[in-house]
Structure 1
């Protein structure tokens, strides 16, 4: 491992996974593993039979140029054993009331518009790979209690957009 002048070890180089390459191509700064995700949410994302290949904080990356936008928070690359790499998009947001659905769907609109841009094409392809593997790529991670009932109009609105109800734990 390389050493800095003060003899402290430098962080390990970020492995060039497909997610990391795609994030860089989109002008984002990827971090190792779940490093871009806030700690309290990082703890509730479990990579059951695989590993996180990198992460990005979309909200922070786009805040300066789009301060009033409903920005999605995080993107994560995952590589399951014997499967192609994929991307999952995680939005920590209150799920306490049905009224929050509109805000999360506005954030999803923003994310889908980003993924439609040419620099984001490789991230979109990794997102499509999640679907091919039967994984919903857009995840609402509830930052508290969930007050949206299964079968409700709001739950159906989420399902129509390829999302499940908010959850407090994500296992991929």
Structure 2
């Protein structure tokens, strides 16, 4: 299934939030996400799409979803959270990740099905808004890994 079709199959209001390429990402965040330009198949601003909906207003919402065609030809959903990268923020990002996984499972199952690891690219990424202040051998770094997240980074390059 294609990213656009999966977004359109999601529950309202996310189903109306598809954008071509990386257009749903704020300009400053687009520059942090690199890859083959034609491989970016679409994007959604999850936070923006759901913030006005009373059901999600107080939830710890994830930022973005991005459709990307892997070199294998299969399309994958990559989920990006842009957030300050310090040890004190680890639990907040994990809460957002847990929320996203529940949301995808319950409200966007087609998107959930294309949320898979392709090659070395994990489907959930934490992009740092500034310098990363989480040393790799800390309890917080181990907690991130236990939840399927790598340490935050300042940019992501998709294969």
- The residue aligned with 2:138 is 152
Question: Matches of 1:76 and 1:51 in 2, distance apart?
Answer: 10
Question: The residue matched to 2:77 in structure 1 has which SS?
Answer: strand
User: Alpha-carbon deviations, 1:68-93, whole Å to 9, x = none?
Assistant: 11100000000023331001000000
Question: The residue matched to 1:108 in structure 2 has which SS?
Answer: helix
Aligned Cα root-mean-square deviation (Å): 1.5
Segments of 5+ residues of structure 1 without an aligned counterpart are 1-16
Q: What is the TM-score when the length of structure 2 is the normalising length?
A: 0.90
4+ long deviations beyond 3 Å:
none
Q: What is the TM-score when the length of structure 1 is the normalising length?
A: 0.84
Segments of 5+ residues of structure 2 without an aligned counterpart are none
- The residue aligned with 1:55 is 43
Query: Map of 1:18-167 to 2, 5 A cutoff?
Result: 18-26=2-10, 27=12, 28=14, 29-48=17-36, 51-65=39-53, 66-95=56-85, 97-117=86-106, 119-128=107-116, 131-167=117-153
Question: Matches of 1:112 and 1:57 in 2, distance apart?
Answer: 16
Q: Is this contact kept in 2: 1:50–1:80, CA < 8 A? A: no
